[in-house]
A = this chain, B = another copy of it.
């Protein structure tokens, strides 16, 4: 409908998650009228983020150096590991200020429908981290939905004979939802009330 490049921009914006055709058009016209410096800043941060951001070699969280901020922090308790699906879940847990241990980011959850099995997740790396015996508790903080529960069940079976304390976040999280959308208080309560799954 629009001339060449404007339509190209609308198309590209429309590929972003949660941006429908009307939003894409609205954003495109905002861009057309915006200060060129603002638009250049957005464009450069988009390319920069792809160049600079990598994934922490230890935990799989997003990082700008070889290790992420949390893995580099010597004050974090190295004996407790919180296993989450995505980097945004790390941020959600950090916001509660309830947890002072370390993380392991799986990179997703088991989902036969999307063809994601245990081999596509960072489970081998998790087992490697457990091999030196420093970690004594693992908190399974996957999403309280079908895929997250399947992943937690899989990990429980895998880890329950290693002599670790193995816990799952307490109920309090709304079932069927995403961990990243829980409010701080609910998620904090869920941490406090975490329960054993291996007994």
Contact = CB atoms under 8 A, between A and B. Distances in A.
Interface of A: 1-6, 8-9, 12-13, 15-19, 22-23, 25-32, 36, 38-50, 52-53, 62-64, 68-69, 86-88, 91, 94-95, 180-181
B18 A49 contact: no
B47 A5 contact: no
A69 B3 contact: yes
A18 B26 contact: yes
Contacts of A41: 12
A91 to B, nearest CB: 5
Copies in the complex: 2
A19 to B, nearest CB: 7
A45 B94 CA distance: 36
A161 to B, nearest CB: 34
B44 A4 contact: no
B29 A50 contact: no
Given A26-B18, A42-B13, A31 B50 contact: yes
A88 B4 CA distance: 15
A109 to B, nearest CB: 14
Contact of A29 (B30, B44, B87): B87
Contacts of A68: 3
A16 B63 CA distance: 25
A146 B6 CA distance: 29
Contacts of A32: 49-50, 53, 62, 87
